[in-house]
Amino acid sequence: MSEFSLFLAHLNDLNNCSICPRECFADRFSEKLGWCKAGAGFNISSICVHHGEEPAISGLKGICNVFFSHCNLSCIYCQNWQISSRDENIPTPAMDFDTVIRQITGLLDDGCHAVGFVSPSHHVPHVKAIIDALRSMNRNPVFVYNTNGYDRVETLRSLESYIDIYLPDFKYMDRQMAHNYSGASDYPQVALAALKEMYRQKGSVLLTDENGVAERGMVVRHLVLPGHIENSLEVLNTIAEEVSVSITISLMAQYWPTPNLLNHNKLGRTILPAEYELVVDEMNRLGFRNGWVQELESHDHYRPDFNRQHPFEK
């Protein structure tokens, strides 16, 4: 039996799964899976060093990112589409727990300061099991919850003692867009409630060390989509009114059309300089002062290929 098997008790929640806002109550140990199509195992597509997050998150030697398979959203423009699909025919790799821990500790030994859980909303019990196992070995990296923002408040509350940094997307305030592009018309209210819970836990201040590497707090990401500037403006206004303008924002320009969208009437192109400028101007007008904007060419740098052993290296 694995020396870490004690921590697998967290997975018991998956026999009647309500960990994400879909609340399917699926038994993920059975063959009949829930909306996300994720099983009960460690469905992890890649554990690798990533240098492409925001500078304070990547740190000096990169973050050890754990990329979970499948997703509780179905964004048609997903840049990690190779691993996030809900297609049941796509094989779901399940790593054994000892291998997961061994790979993570190997990257920590190589100098990573943090462990990032990417698309964790449907794998929260696994996140807890991994953190408990690492802490039992006196490993205390910074733990980052890198989420699409479609999280249940109750589940986030259960993470309060586990997570150091929340890194949520806030994608939409437009319900129709949320429905058409991600299969979740309730995304605006669900993500806003999630954001408020993360803010309750972490507040506005992003604590950093002497090198400017983040240790505690939250960063809200918003990806500007071509032809949808109104949505971006509403997202920023909502954060300003309902959360705080002191919060750290990462305003992303890296959108690029995935192969399935090359002929899409709106999403078939990258964003225009004028579109991004409008959103940046609004961010400044509202009084946001903390965070990052991106170069428009950044879409050239973020094109992972999860068929490679190192998805972010060419």
Closest to ligand SF4 by CB, 24 or 133: 24
Closest to ligand SF4 by CB, 165 or 190: 190
**Which residue reads 């003692």 in tokens?**
161
Closest to ligand SF4 by CB, 22 or 222: 22
| Chain residues 63-82 in contact with ligand SF4, contact rule CB under 6 A | 72
Closest to ligand SF4 by CB, 22 or 202: 22
Angstrom distance (rounded) from CA 113 to CA 141: 6
Closest to ligand SF4 by CB, 33 or 64: 33
Closest to ligand SF4 by CB, 26 or 47: 26
Angstrom distance (rounded) from CA 162 to CA 2: 22
Measured between its terminal Cα atoms, the distance across the chain in Å is 38
**Paired tokens of 60:** 């000096």
Please state, as a whole number, how many other Cβ atoms lie within 10 Å of the Cβ of residue 169: 22
Residue 92 lies near ligand SF4 (rule: CB under 6 A): no
| Chain residues 217-276 in contact with ligand SF4, contact rule CB under 6 A | none
| Chain residues 101-140 in contact with ligand SF4, contact rule CB under 6 A | 122
Cβ of residue 143: shortest distance to ligand SF4, in angstroms?
20
Question: Sign of torsion, CA 208 255 68 306?
Answer: negative
Among 4, 11, 22, 255, binds ligand SF4 (CB under 6 A): 22
Residue 85 lies near ligand SF4 (rule: CB under 6 A): no
Angstrom distance (rounded) from CA 85 to CA 35: 11
Angstrom distance (rounded) from CA 8 to CA 74: 28
Angstrom distance (rounded) from CA 147 to CA 152: 12
Residues in the chain: 314
**244: enclosing H helix or E strand:** none
Closest to ligand SF4 by CB, 22 or 128: 22
Strands 214-223, 207-208: pairing kind: antiparallel
Closest to ligand SF4 by CB, 26 or 134: 26
CA dihedral 165, 302, 121, 209 (to 10 degrees): -10
Cβ of residue 112: shortest distance to ligand SF4, in angstroms?
27
Binding segment for ligand SF4 (CB under 6 A), chosen from 13-21, 46-54, 196-204, 256-264, is 13-21
Angstrom distance (rounded) from CA 69 to CA 66: 10
**Paired tokens of 152:** 């249940």
Among 8, 11, 17, 95, binds ligand SF4 (CB under 6 A): 17
Residue 26 lies near ligand SF4 (rule: CB under 6 A): yes
Angstrom distance (rounded) from CA 256 to CA 174: 20
- The contact mask relative to ligand SF4 for 32-51 (x = CB under 6 A, - = no) is --xxx-x-------------
Among 3, 23, 186, 277, binds ligand SF4 (CB under 6 A): 23
Q: Could you tell me how many residues of this chain bind ligand SF4 (CB under 6 A)?
A: 15
Residues in touch with ligand SF4 (CB under 6 A)? 17-20, 22-24, 26, 28, 34-36, 38, 72, 122
